[in-house]
Amino acid sequence: MKVNVEKHFQVSAFFTFFLIHSSQTGVGILNFQNQVIKGAEQDAWISLIITGVITHIILYIIFKLLDEENNDLVAVHHYCFGKTMGNILSVLAMIYFWLASLTVLRAYIEVIQIWVYPTIKTWQLCIVFGLTFYYLIKSGFRTLSGFSFWGVVLPSFLFFLIYFPMKHTNYIYLLPAFSHSLSELFISSKAFSLLFLGFEWIVIYYPFIRRNPNSKNISKWAYFGNLYTIIVYLIVTLISFLYFNQEVLQQLPWATLMMVKIVHFSFLERFEYAFIFIWLLVVISPICISLWACTRIIKRTFSIPPKASLKMLLLAEMIAAISLQEFKSIDHLINLTSKVGIGFVYLYLPLLLIIKLIKNNFIKNRLNKI
Amino acid sequence: MTNKKFAQRIGCVALSLFLSGCIPKSIIDEVSLMHYIGFDREKKMLKASVVYPNYATEGNSTLLTAEAKNPSSLQNELGHKSQFEYEVGQLRVMIFGDKLSRYGLADVLDTICKDPKIGVIRIVISDGSPDLILRKTLNKSPLYLKNLIDKSIEDEGIPDINLHVMYDQYFGSGIDMSFPNLKVDSKGDIKIDGMGIFKGDKLKFKISDKEAFLLKLMMDRNKNGVYSFNLDKNEHKGNIGVRILYGKHKVKVIKEGNQEKAKMDLTLNIKLEGLPKGVKLEKERDLILFKKALQKSISTEAESLLKDFQANGVDPVGLGRIYKVNRSNYSEQNFYKMIYRNMKFDVNTKIIVRQTGVGNIES
């Protein structure tokens, strides 16, 4: 069941770094603080490192899962469960990918509605964004990787902004350090894992990355991508913990944006508005890559051309986004996606590897017998 | 085929261009960009006074007032009186009147916390009604009041208070809010006059300019300001002002017997401008004498200020927060009921004379 992707559709291994990192960073980073402090409070940065390391292990599992013969999720499913069962599981994975895309889109629209235009309708933004996404995804995977490159490089100047909150930091907020039990740390770790979700789409676009015959290039760049994500999140977490005390973080849901409020230049009093729109560059990649992965799964399982399925998927996403009206339902959506995502990435993928190894063994034994 | 594709793409671009017209717009001449807002309590109602510059007519700024039962409908009430829509995005200073501060700010503060349009603004309180102050700003330049407060915080010994610090002190445990206090002096000028110290959301008492500066020395990183004191040692007498350039503060809460003791170390780098007659700093003896007198003056005044806070049951320095650092079983209530009341204070000041100006010191 090996997938062969023609060379001119492939991207070089170097892009794995940007693909992994950009599909992890979404809207979550704007408001994760009041979720992650629920368990470990000021020690939550330790939980971040725990989650980061676990994510690293999962990446390792993914690279074990994909090999020469079965180089994407659909192929692995077929290999382990046979055609029908494998297809059903692939469709379930596709639903999760679609859900992830919907979550980022709806959450970003919510940010715009809360912070910038309170009276704008969801459908207006949906049409504008939907057209952009359609155009991007239709152009294929190479365009998406190019976009994810710029989506990482261009917003990286935002890093210099940490200079402004730096002036108001107080180390006392991180004390007493290391005062939480392991179970409390794990509660925070679980909340952090939502931020790391997105890297798992590599199980679909893996065949699209060009491989040198002699190297472990792809996995190397993927690990770097994840490492970069950990560093970025660690900096944001530490700065926001040093800038706000824990009680404030509990009260203010949008801590990262609140932190950006302190940034002002003599020619620009309120930087957070610019920040929110620059963030569009960041959120486009996760939305588009996951949707692209959906169309890819459909193509691989039912041989429906991506052009047709993309329209359906986008339309469904827009309708779903518009039908979520209450602010509470967006919370529910995020909760649901994070639960499904954690289940898929941290439980299902390792399980799949075990099944695959058993199957490998089984086949080997049978071959030996013959 | 290619033509059709091209038309499709152009269509997409055109559609997104047209759709961006759906974005709600505000034309700068057609909104009232308020710069200052004052809140006070009048006849059990909340009263707001806003000042906004008239860019369209190039006239003076306008002051409008309105009353309502809650902060949200206040904006509506104000809207009824003005020809343009209000925008709070450019708000720079928020003033709370004396009556409202004593009644409690919770209603207003909770509303500002929820409004993403409000930036990092300065928050001050005023003696009497904020109207008096806002009326004085009308014929000044639009950002006059904001610059006045900024400059006082930068150079003149007022603690750095803005929306972020307010969040920190209002929500945070182990510290109480404090805001600079504005008043109109006898000549009719706006002036910063000390600070108001809060307990919870209610104004408890006010401190003078000098005490505000001592508070700044104990909590801010920026310690710029002038400290004046009476030198009265042996034959040297007179009142001197020393400018504190920069410095450090270090606060610790330690246990001494049954009592907790707050130990505060201040290291201050100063610049001397004028000296009373007879003090010659070239003389080692005079310098030491002068430094000792200054150190003692700052230490005792800071200690008595801390005792003042203690007697009133407020903690603007944040000793509770420092106490909390090493104790996992901290409870705010317990700390203020049992420990803070009996706390002892010990302030140690170390003075470093960095500069004495360029003139002839011998006089």
Q: In this predicted model, what pLDDT tens digit does every residue of A303-312 receive, in sequence order?
A: 888 888 999 9
Could you tell me whether strands B190-199 and B178-184 are parallel, antiparallel, or unpaired per DSSP bridges? antiparallel
CB-count burial class (<10 Å; 0-12, 13-18, 19+) for A359 = middle
Q: Pick the residue of B9, B109, B325 with the most A CBs within 10 A to test the interface with A by mutation.
A: B325
| Chain A residue at shortest CA distance from B90 | A269
Residues of chain A contacting B19 with CB distance shorter than 8 Å: 124, 127-128
pLDDT at B278: 67
- Per-residue pLDDT band at B336 (split at 50, 70, 90): confident
Q: Pick the residue of A41, A133, A261 with the most B CBs within 10 A to test the interface with B by mutation.
A: A261
* Contact with chain A for residue B16, Cβ under 8 A: yes
* Contact with chain A for residue B150, Cβ under 8 A: no
**Long-range contacts (CB closer than 8 Å, 24 or more residues apart) made by A224-227:** A224/A17, A225/A16, A225/A17, A225/A18, A225/A19, A225/A20, A225/A21, A225/A24, A225/A199, A226/A20, A226/A21, A226/A24, A226/A52, A226/A55, A226/A56, A226/A59, A226/A196, A226/A199, A227/A52, A227/A56
* Contact with chain A for residue B234, Cβ under 8 A: no
> What ipTM did this prediction achieve?
0.84
pLDDT at B363: 45
| Chain B residue at shortest CA distance from A111 | B116
Q: Pick the residue of A113, A125, A129, A247 with the most B CBs within 10 A to test the interface with B by mutation.
A: A247
* pLDDT tens per residue, range B86-104: 888 888 899 999 999 999 8
B302 pLDDT above the threshold of 60: yes
pLDDT at A264: 81
Q: According to the 3-state scheme, what is the secondary structure of B187-237?
A: CCCEEEEEEEEEECCEEEEEECHHHHHHHHHHHCCCCCEEEEEEEEECCEE
Alpha-carbon distances of B313 from B160, B203, B252, B342, rounded to whole Å: 22, 12, 19, 11
B84 pLDDT above the threshold of 90: no
Contact state of A270 with B119 under an 8 Å Cβ cutoff: yes
pLDDT at B1: 56
> What is the sign of the dihedral through the CA atoms of A220, A221, A226 and A232?
positive
pLDDT at B114: 80
* Contact with chain A for residue B17, Cβ under 8 A: no
Average pLDDT, chain A: 89
Cα distance between residue B295 and residue B302, in whole Å? 11
CA distance A269 to chain B (A): 8
pLDDT at A105: 93
CB-count burial class (<10 Å; 0-12, 13-18, 19+) for A32 = buried
Cβ pair B249, B265 in contact under 8 A: yes
pLDDT tens string for chain A (370 positions)?
Answer: 577 788 888 888 889 999 999 999 888 888 888 888 888 888 899 999 999 999 999 999 998 888 877 888 888 898 888 889 999 999 999 999 999 999 999 999 999 999 888 888 898 889 888 988 998 998 889 999 999 999 999 888 888 888 888 888 888 888 888 888 889 999 999 989 889 998 989 999 988 888 877 667 888 899 999 999 999 999 999 999 999 988 888 888 888 988 888 888 888 878 888 899 999 999 999 999 999 999 999 998 988 888 889 999 999 999 999 998 888 999 999 999 999 999 999 999 999 999 999 988 888 888 887 7
* pLDDT tens per residue, range B3-62: 888 888 888 778 777 777 767 777 777 777 888 999 998 888 888 888 888 776 666 788
User: Domains in chain A, ordered, with CATH?
Assistant: 7-369 (1.20.1740.10)
Contact state of A176 with B16 under an 8 Å Cβ cutoff: no
Please give the angle made by the CA atoms of B63, B69 and B72, to the nearest 5 degrees. Answer: 70
CA distance B165 to chain A (A): 9
* pLDDT tens per residue, range B194-235: 899 999 889 988 999 899 999 999 888 888 888 888 877 666
- Of the candidates A117, A176, A264, the beta carbon closest to that of B328 is on A176
DSSP type of residue A122: H
Q: Please give the CATH topology (third level) of the domain spanning B222-363.
A: GMP Synthetase; Chain A, domain 3 (3.30.300)
Residues of chain B contacting A175 with CB distance shorter than 8 Å: 325-326
| Chain A residue at shortest CA distance from B18 | A128
The enclosing H or E element of B350 equals strand B344-355
Contact state of A172 with B167 under an 8 Å Cβ cutoff: no
Which tokens hold the place of B102? 């004593």
B69 pLDDT above the threshold of 70: yes
Q: Pick the residue of B92, B111, B114, B171 with the most A CBs within 10 A to test the interface with A by mutation.
A: B171
Residues of chain A contacting B16 with CB distance shorter than 8 Å: 128, 131-132
pLDDT at B235: 66
* Contact with chain B for residue A178, Cβ under 8 A: no
Contact state of A131 with B89 under an 8 Å Cβ cutoff: no
Residues of chain A contacting B120 with CB distance shorter than 8 Å: 261-262, 264
Contact state of B167 with A135 under an 8 Å Cβ cutoff: no
Among B residues 318-337, those touching chain A with beta carbons less than 8 Å apart: 321-322, 325-328
Cα distance between residue B193 and residue B128, in whole Å? 13
Cα distance between residue A91 and residue A84, in whole Å? 11
Torsion of the alpha carbons at A73, A77, A83 and A84, rounded to the nearest 10: -100
- Of the candidates A119, A243, A247, the beta carbon closest to that of B173 is on A247
* Contact with chain B for residue A117, Cβ under 8 A: yes
- Of the candidates B20, B119, B171, the beta carbon closest to that of A269 is on B119
Average pLDDT, chain B: 85
Domain residue ranges of chain B, discontinuous segments joined by +: 29-207, 222-363
| Chain B residue at shortest CA distance from A178 | B328
Among B residues 110-139, those touching chain A with beta carbons less than 8 Å apart: 113, 116, 119-120
Rg (CA), chain B: 26
* Contact with chain B for residue A307, Cβ under 8 A: no
Contact state of B16 with A270 under an 8 Å Cβ cutoff: no
Average pLDDT over residues B358-363: 56
| Chain B residue at shortest CA distance from A131 | B12
C-alpha distance across the termini of chain A, in Å: 23
pLDDT at A231: 93
Average pLDDT over residues B353-358: 77
Cα distance between residue A207 and residue A218, in whole Å? 11
Average pLDDT over residues B303-312: 91
Contact state of A127 with B19 under an 8 Å Cβ cutoff: yes
- Of the candidates B12, B163, B328, the beta carbon closest to that of A131 is on B12
Cβ pair A317, A101 in contact under 8 A: yes
User: Which one has a higher pLDDT value, B113 or B193?
Assistant: B193
Question: Torsions phi, psi of A41, nearest 5?
Answer: 45, -120
Contact state of B19 with A124 under an 8 Å Cβ cutoff: yes
